[in-house]
Amino acid sequence: MATEADERPSYEEAREELVEVVRRLEAGGTTLEESLSLWERGEQLATICQEWLDGARARLDAVIGAEDED
């Protein structure tokens, strides 16, 4: 059985898909329903990217904090 973590894209995958979503929205030519779906997916992808960045920042802060204690 697949878990949510298995389905979560990597930062690079999410960013790449987000770029494509933005490109499609900027190009136009989609229906209102398609545009709304793209927008919602873009919001999801932006959140995933931010979570990856926040996690990376927390890991860096932990390493820097550990080095400062030494």
- From first to last of its 70 residues, the chain has per-residue pLDDT tens of 445 556 899 999 999 999 999 999 999 999 999 999 999 999 999 999 999 999 999 999 999 988 777 6
pLDDT at position 2 is 46
Q: How wide is the angle at C-alpha 57 spanned by C-alphas 23 and 20, nearest 5°?
A: 10
| Cα gap 68→47, rounded to integer Å | 31
pLDDT at position 63 is 92
This prediction has a pTM of 0.79
pLDDT at position 1 is 47
| Cα gap 16→29, rounded to integer Å | 21
